[in-house]
Structure 1
Amino acid sequence: MSSIWVPLLLSLKVAGWATVLASVAGVALAYGLSRSGSRWGDVADSLLTLPMVLPPTVIGYYLLVLFGRRGWLGGWLQAHGVELVFTWQGAAVAASVVAFPMVLKASRASFLEVDHRLEQAAAVLGAGRLSVFLLISLPLAARGIMAGVLLAFARALGEFGATLMVAGSIPGRTETLSIAIFEAVQSGDDAMANVLVGVTSAVCVAVLCLVAWLLRRGQSHRVFRSF
């Protein structure tokens, strides 16, 4: 049973932290892009959503170039006692990059659906930009954002290529569900592979059902036209 629970709990931890990182960056950037009014907004959106279409191994390579021991930031981080390569934290960073576009696309579309007149009225009454964001824009876009966050969690939970390149496959430390499935198949342990696949599928189906429930509660289904 430990061979099932260990990768499951590790995957939930990695996916949870990855979702937090992706959500903070995704919501902030989505709000900025939706309110920029610049023609370069779509260009920036395309560049930021590249992880959605790039092969995960390519993303993993970029992350190694950036955070590896001889990478642009890796040496500096290591000098300050921060190690990302071959750690679960590195797996979380890799998964957050892959899951980030889910939050960005859903959040930007949600913010675009918010009536600008409400924000302008709040500003006229003296509300600052942060207050307008927290009290007007964010609550009105909350359902669409939450759907994107849940999809990002499911994407991070199933990430394989980028996390394998950055964090490796160390049992008990960086071996997530997807990597454990790969290792089980490679070793010929079909029974274990079947159990791990079933657990992963069940979690992802539960997340998708929750997303569908959120979308049925309001009109936030329009958020996903941008996908």
Structure 2
Amino acid sequence: MDSLLTNLLSEQFFNPIWLSLKVAVVSSFIVIILGTIIGRLFSKKKFKGKAILETFIMLPMVLPPTVVGFFLIVIFGKNSIVGKVIEWVFDQSIMFTWYAAVTAAIVVAFPLMYQSSKSAFQGVDNDIEEAARLDGASERKVFLLVSIPLASKMLITGCILSFARALGEFGATLMFAGNIPGVTQTVPTAIYVAMDSGDMTLAWLWVISIVLISFLMLLFVRIREV
């Protein structure tokens, strides 16, 4: 019992949880904005190559996380053009920093927000939007004051699912951000290390924590759908 309490109150236990929440919040903020805007655009526009572009957007949902991590290293690694520019501007590589964890979370969570956003806006009655335009509303006002409120239920679902996906990201994060305690170690990677080292008490505490957070978020989604 004393050992359990000690683990619960230790920085070793709280640091991965805090970092996971921080990564999930920052990445979700970016994903929600981009996913909503791009989902809205793709729900209303038809253009050549749209199907191919959407396929690329959805790829992270079906690719193995290690493949996603591999591509992130190729694109943002020290030997890439993008990686060299980042290192020149910020005087450090993005790899093995918490920004790398955010980047990995954005890539894997974006498809969920995009798909929810696109479906949400496709369900909005075009006649209502057109009526707002006839009343003199600009496209921005139609989007903010008509489209988003009408699509809000599915948009909120997309936000929660994206946050949960970002919170649970493991493979790409491990490859791209590494597993540095206090720097890039998130709950999923911490669980992996705890299991590997035989520290089942910490592993169980982290598992229970992330299961509880994920359960509450999904429960909120299910309640809203009833």
Q: Residue 7 in 1 paired to residue 16 in 2?
A: yes
Q: Residue 33 in 1 paired to residue 18 in 2?
A: no
Alpha carbons 1:65, 1:72 under 8 Å: kept: no
The AA in structure 2 aligned to 1:159 is E
Q: Residue 208 in 1 paired to residue 218 in 2?
A: yes
Q: 1:174 aligns with which of 184, 199, 220?
A: 184
Q: Which residue of 2 aligns with 1:183?
A: 193
Q: 1:112 aligns with which of 93, 100, 122?
A: 122
Q: Residue 94 in 1 paired to residue 110 in 2?
A: no
Q: 1:71 aligns with which of 80, 95, 100?
A: 80
The AA in structure 2 aligned to 1:63 is L
Q: Which residue of 2 aligns with 1:58?
A: 67
The AA in structure 2 aligned to 1:25 is L
Gaps in structure 2 of 5+ consecutive residues = 1-9
The Cα of 1:41 is off from its aligned counterpart by 3.5
SS at match of 2:63: coil
Q: Measure the CA separation in 2 of the matches of 1:51 and 1:191.
A: 33
1:56-91: CA deviations, max 9, x gaps? 111111111111111231100110016321111110
SS at match of 1:73: helix
Q: 1:197 aligns with which of 185, 207, 218?
A: 207
The AA in structure 1 aligned to 2:44 is R
Task: Answer with 129-138 or 173-182: which moved more.
Answer: 129-138
Q: Which residue of 2 aligns with 1:223?
A: none
Q: Which residue of 2 aligns with 1:121?
A: 131
Alpha carbons 1:69, 1:75 under 8 Å: kept: yes
Q: Which residue of 2 aligns with 1:225?
A: none
Gaps in structure 1 of 5+ consecutive residues = 217-227
Q: Which residue of 2 aligns with 1:222?
A: none
- When Rg is computed on C-alpha atoms for both structures, the one with the higher figure is 2
State TM-score, norm by structure 2.
0.92
